[in-house]
Amino acid sequence: MNLEELGLTKTEAKVYLALLELGSTPAGPLIKKVGLHRAAVYDTIDLLINKGLISYVIQANRKYFEAQDPERLFELLESEKQEISRKEAGLKGLLPMLQLRRTLSTEHQEGTIYKGKKGLQSIFEDILKERKPWLVFGASGKFRELLRTYFIHFHEKRARLKIPLKIIYANDVRKEHRENELKSSEIRYLPEKLIIPSTTYIYGDKVVIINWSIEPISFSIRSREVADSYRVFFGILWTEAKF
């Protein structure tokens, strides 16, 4: 394995290795050793400083550059791992919408847009009408906040109709909820690193995506393929979610 395989560019690797050999040095000897244009070397030095692989001191108004301990490469790898984890979390949040767009182009489906509180109530009444297991992820507690009286009535009726609920709340609302306060339900919470910007409902052959703005906007699609795809995604989130 070489430094390029660890994420450095060819020029970065060349400059870093040269500094390991030279020790503390002004830019002149370094430029001569690597045989690159002066501007390219300085640009590379800046990049390596930002990565924590090079440092410098000023002596007699001159900068002396020095390679840091190669152990720092482990820190660089760890930083890259964290960045990959962040991107993976972002992708998981984006994946449902990407899957939805793909399916919309290949399957006949019905879509409906609902606006405001009345629109939300129409969706909840449809959930009661369908009487199918209800899956929710990216929940933020906005349902309770916007429709407090209806929220209580809805869940009482849902429990009477024996409609099971699995709900995954955003991590930042954990303190606002009590475990098992909703009858016939299972509750978990997303990991802190995983942020899903909207709330998604899955029931029967329908998927509903809700944007909780001042006036809530909901998009409902009726499609067996889309619903099944979202159920698979929900299952993945459920295994990662915490009690």
Q: What is the per-residue pLDDT across 185-217, written as a single tens digit (0 to 9) for each?
A: 899 988 877 777 789 999 999 999 998 877 889
CB 209 within 8 A of CB 198: yes
Domains in the chain (CATH in brackets) are 3-70 (1.10.10.10), 86-240 (3.30.870.10)
Residues 178, 179, 185, 186: what is their CA dihedral angle, to the nearest 10 degrees? 140
Within 10 A of 170 (CB to CB), how many other CB atoms are there? 19
pLDDT band, very low/low/confident/very high, at 2 (cuts 50, 70, 90)? confident
Q: What is the DSSP letter of 193?
A: T
The pLDDT of residue 53 is above 80? yes
Percentage, residues of the chain above pLDDT 90: 27
The pLDDT of residue 72 is above 90? no
The pLDDT of residue 25 is above 70? yes
Encoding tokens for residue 43? Answer: 């640009």
Encoding tokens for residue 64? Answer: 């002396």
Helix segments in the chain, DSSP class H:
10-22, 27-34, 38-50, 72-104, 116-130, 142-146, 148-160, 224-240
Percentage, residues of the chain above pLDDT 70: 91
- Summary mean pLDDT of the chain: 84
The pLDDT of residue 126 is above 90? yes
pLDDT at 181 (0 to 100):
63
Cα(139)–Cα(141) distance, integer angstroms: 6
Mean pLDDT of the region 5-9: 79
The pLDDT of residue 96 is above 80? no
pLDDT band, very low/low/confident/very high, at 13 (cuts 50, 70, 90)? confident
Bin 3: left if φ > 0, else alpha if -120 < ψ < 50, else beta.
Answer: alpha
The pLDDT of residue 134 is above 90? yes
Q: Please give the model's pTM, rounded to 2 decimal places.
A: 0.57
DSSP H or E segment with residue 189: strand 185-189
Residues 178, 179, 184, 186: what is their CA dihedral angle, to the nearest 10 degrees? 130
Q: What is the pLDDT of residues 136-183, one digit of tens each?
A: 998 888 888 888 888 889 999 999 999 999 999 887 776 565 544 677
pLDDT at 213 (0 to 100):
78
pLDDT at 107 (0 to 100):
55
The pLDDT of residue 102 is above 80? no
The answer for residues whose C-beta is within 8 angstroms of residue 96's C-beta and 6 or more apart is 200, 209, 230, 233
Amino acid at 123: I
Q: What is the DSSP letter of 26?
A: -
